[in-house]
């Protein structure tokens, strides 16, 4: 185990050194002198504007008039103060503030008072930007700010005084120059978002067409690198697909508006991504909560799928590159995680949920994972990444992957990379009666000398879903004597559960009144409290079914969910009335 840990630490040290070097170079290249010497064109005239697919909330303006500034699920009482001068309630709130997420909400209010408020906030940022913390000039935040300014420029600038117009254009020019310098720092979604912002500027701002020729090759290469062949994102986070589609779709429309052919790689990636979004949707429209996926905003999902002109189709059972499996029959949809975590440097949001699944019946979720909370700086965020927060097996409540503390922090939070399992395999199984998947991983091999294997199968009637969990010892002496396993099935907060101790079974009732029964053999069954992190408003209490027992070479647990037939009420025929 020691060589493995040293290898991980060496990779993390190299990442930290590279980032430190890039930070020093960035400071030099983003200075005012650098902008002057490089001859970067100044933005002065906008030709077209991209469409913001995110929904604005006009009630934000009303709250702002009353002295409250609410973003990302948190509210700060600012009174007459500038929000840039108050203590941020949460980091997500701060990100939305610096990324100009408030601009679309004020635009949605569509009145002159909201327009004046937006201009005042923009001037506040211009005055504050020089003393803003590093988060305010973070690559991803800067890209969001540029995209927001371009998308809502008509609302912000129409009828504005020349001095205000010029000030906004100077800010836009400065942010764009910074992005051209720092877009290549690291990898992942922030890099692709920065390149998207640069290309949007090349399409929307007069005399900035050179951005297209200079950065289109890098954009296309990054798109190829991040969007897998099956349409999934390289981080395996379903939420990243929505975030990227919300910006890539307007980019494609801007190419069309300028009468330019969008890059073929962009067309292809959009089609694959939209298909993957459909693949990862449960019956209620939410995306499966794996690897950093938090709340699903259905308006955003609807928006990106509304642009699916061709009705992209997705694989029936298996996403071979993203390594997710989808079983659907009758009214039931089951989505399972059948893959290893993403590469170490992209795993800052990844979860230890190998083998976990989620299940919906009709439009109602039944089995869920806990999901990711919106605030990534709190203790709950680390908990949400554990195996115990997923509907799968864990040993001694330890995770199948190891969290490794990074040597740097990001946006006010400590970073933890996810390492392991090293060997993950899966196999799709289909016969006349059912469809299923077999998943195995070695996440507990080093600590407990055991591998976990899970097989799940959905009957084609949609009325029965069964599973089999096994622990297979690596050798005869490897099993730790006192270790115990727990197999968790986290219930959605709206599902009621009643335990029947005589039959080792649980009756589950959905809000519609539909009833399912869960039975198990080979373990002790109980109902315990759980918590659902992936709610857009607040953390919610929920329940979980837990199967427990000692780890041994004979560990073999069978379980099954079956639909309970609705019993017809007996019809009592009365005497026929005589007339």
- Provide the pLDDT confidence category of residue 8 given band limits of 50, 70 and 90: low
Q: Burial of 116 by CB count in 10 Å (0-12 exposed, 13-18 middle, 19+ buried)?
A: exposed
State the average pLDDT over residues 547-557.
94
The two three-digit tokens of residue 458, written as one number: 């959905």
What mean pLDDT is reported for the chain? 90
The per-residue pLDDT for 506 is 97
Q: What is the pLDDT of residues 239-292, one digit of tens each?
A: 999 999 999 999 999 999 999 999 999 999 999 999 999 999 999 999 999 999
The per-residue pLDDT for 41 is 67
Separation in Å, CA 475 to CA 244, 451, 479, 480, 558 = 46, 11, 8, 11, 23
- Provide the pLDDT confidence category of residue 22 given band limits of 50, 70 and 90: very low
State the average pLDDT over residues 145-167.
97
> Is residue 26's pLDDT more than 80?
no
State the average pLDDT over residues 365-394.
94
Q: What is the pLDDT of residues 179-191, one digit of tens each?
A: 999 998 878 999 9
Which of 422 and 567 is assigned the larger pLDDT? 422
Q: Has residue 432 been placed in a domain?
A: yes
Q: Has residue 69 been placed in a domain?
A: no
C-beta neighbour count of 17 within 10 angstroms? 11
Q: Has residue 517 been placed in a domain?
A: yes
Using an 8 Å Cβ cutoff, are 42 and 170 in contact?
yes
Return the minimum-mean-pLDDT range out of 17-31, 76-90, 449-463, 489-503. Answer: 17-31
User: Percent of the chain beyond pLDDT 90?
Assistant: 80
Count Cα atoms within 13 angstroms, Cβ side, for 67: 5
The per-residue pLDDT for 514 is 96
The per-residue pLDDT for 575 is 40
The per-residue pLDDT for 33 is 45
Count of domains observed in the chain: 1
DSSP E strands in 261-419: the ranges are: 318-319, 324-329, 332-337, 357-361, 364-368, 393-395, 402-410, 413-419
State the average pLDDT over residues 529-551.
96
Q: Has residue 280 been placed in a domain?
A: no
The per-residue pLDDT for 312 is 60
> Is residue 71's pLDDT more than 80?
yes
> Is residue 6's pLDDT more than 50?
no
Return the minimum-mean-pLDDT range out of 3-7, 57-61, 277-281, 355-359. Answer: 3-7
> Is residue 164's pLDDT more than 60?
yes
Query: 444 pairs with which residues across the strands?
Result: none
The per-residue pLDDT for 410 is 66
State the average pLDDT over residues 1-7.
44
> Is residue 315's pLDDT more than 70?
no
> Is residue 461's pLDDT more than 70?
yes
The per-residue pLDDT for 567 is 56
State the average pLDDT over residues 457-478.
91
DSSP E strands in 420-463: the ranges are: 424-430, 434-441, 450-459
User: What is the distance between the alpha carbons of residues 495 and 490, in angstroms, rounded to a whole number?
Assistant: 10
CATH of the domain at 458: 2.70.98.70
Using an 8 Å Cβ cutoff, are 208 and 41 in contact?
yes
Q: Has residue 573 been placed in a domain?
A: no
Q: Has residue 531 been placed in a domain?
A: yes
Sign (positive or negative) of CA dihedral 183, 186, 187, 193: negative
The per-residue pLDDT for 479 is 57
Return the minimum-mean-pLDDT range out of 21-35, 202-216, 351-365, 564-578. Answer: 21-35
The per-residue pLDDT for 414 is 77
The per-residue pLDDT for 412 is 59
- Provide the pLDDT confidence category of residue 309 given band limits of 50, 70 and 90: confident
Burial per residue of 49-88, b for 16 or more beta-carbon CB atoms within 10 angstroms, e otherwise: bbebbbebbeebbeebeeeebbbbbbebeeeeeebbeeeb
Helix (H, G, I), strand (E, B) or coil at 163: helix
> Is residue 120's pLDDT more than 60?
yes
What domain range is 517 assigned to?
388-563
User: Percent of the chain beyond pLDDT 70?
Assistant: 87
The per-residue pLDDT for 284 is 97
State the average pLDDT over residues 456-482.
88
Q: Has residue 524 been placed in a domain?
A: yes
> Is residue 527's pLDDT more than 90?
yes
Given its phi and psi angles, is residue 323 left (phi above 0), alpha (psi -120 to 50 degrees) or beta? left
Return the minimum-mean-pLDDT range out of 18-22, 282-286, 401-405, 420-424. Answer: 18-22
State the average pLDDT over residues 106-128.
97
Helix (H, G, I), strand (E, B) or coil at 224: helix
Q: Has residue 257 been placed in a domain?
A: no
Residue for token digits 């400590």?
414
């Amino acid at each position: 185990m020691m060589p493995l840990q040293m290898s991980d630490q060496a990779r993390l040290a190299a990442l930290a050194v590279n980032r430190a070097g890039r930070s020093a170079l960035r400071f030099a290249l983003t200075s005012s002198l650098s902008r002057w010497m490089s001859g970067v064109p100044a933005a002065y005239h906008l030709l077209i504007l991209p469409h913001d697919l995110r929904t604005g909330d006009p009630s934000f303006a009303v709250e702002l008039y009353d002295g409250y500034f609410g973003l990302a699920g948190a509210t700060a009482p600012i009174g007459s103060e500038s929000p840039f001068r108050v203590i941020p309630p949460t980091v997500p709130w701060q990100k939305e503030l610096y990324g100009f997420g408030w601009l679309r909400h004020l635009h949605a209010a569509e009145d002159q008072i909201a327009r004046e408020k937006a201009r005042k906030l923009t001037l506040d940022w211009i005055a504050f930007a020089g003393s803003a913390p590093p988060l305010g000039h973070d690559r991803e935040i800067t890209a969001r700010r540029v995209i927001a300014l371009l998308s809502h420029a008509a609302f912000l600038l129409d009828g504005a005084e020349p001095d205000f117009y010029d000030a906004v254009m100077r800010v836009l020019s400065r942010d764009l120059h910074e992005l051209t310098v720092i877009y290549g720092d690291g990898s992942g979604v922030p890099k692709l978002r920065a390149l998207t912002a640069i290309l949007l500027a090349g399409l929307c701002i007069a005399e900035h067409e050179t951005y297209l020729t200079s950065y289109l090759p890098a954009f296309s290469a990054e798109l190829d690198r991040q969007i897998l062949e099956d349409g999934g994102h390289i981080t395996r986070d379903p939420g990243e697909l929505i975030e990227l589609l919300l910006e890539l779709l307007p980019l494609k429309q801007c190419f069309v508006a300028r009468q330019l052919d969008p890059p073929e790689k962009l067309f292809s990636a959009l089609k694959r991504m939209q298909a993957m979004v459909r693949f990862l949707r449960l019956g209620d429209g939410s995306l499966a909560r794996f690897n950093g996926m938090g709340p699903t905003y259905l308006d955003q999902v609807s928006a990106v799928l509304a642009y699916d002109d061709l009705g992209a189709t997705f694989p029936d059972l298996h996403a071979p590159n993203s390594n997710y499996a989808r079983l659907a029959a009758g009214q039931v949809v089951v989505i399972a995680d059948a893959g290893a975590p993403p590469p170490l440097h992209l795993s800052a949001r990844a979860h230890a949920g190998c083998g976990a699944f989620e299940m919906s019946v009709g439009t109602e979720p039944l089995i869920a994972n806990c999901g990711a909370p919106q605030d990534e700086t709190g203790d709950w965020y680390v908990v949400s990444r554990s195996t115990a927060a997923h509907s799968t097996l864990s040993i001694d409540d330890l995770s199948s992957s190891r969290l490794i503390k990074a040597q740097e922090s990001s946006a006010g939070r400590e970073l933890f990379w996810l390492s392991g399992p090293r060997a993950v395999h899966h196999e799709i199984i289909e016969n006349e009666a059912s469809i299923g998947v077999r998943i195995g991983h070695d996440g507990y091999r080093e600590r407990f000398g055991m591998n976990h294997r899970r097989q799940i199968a959905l009957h084609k009637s949609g009325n029965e879903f069964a599973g089999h969990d096994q622990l297979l010892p690596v050798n005869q002496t490897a099993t730790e004597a006192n270790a115990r396993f727990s197999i968790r099935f986290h219930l959605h907060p709206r599902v009621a559960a009643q335990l029947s101790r005589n039959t080792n079974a649980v009756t589950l009732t959905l809000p519609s009144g539909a009833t399912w029964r869960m039975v198990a053999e080979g373990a002790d069954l109980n109902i315990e409290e759980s918590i659902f992190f992936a709610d857009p408003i607040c953390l919610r209490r929920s329940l979980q079914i837990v199967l427990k027992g000692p780890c041994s070479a004979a560990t073999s647990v069978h379980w099954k969910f079956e639909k309970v037939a609705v019993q017809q009420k007996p019809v009592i025929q009365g005497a026929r009335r005589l007339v």
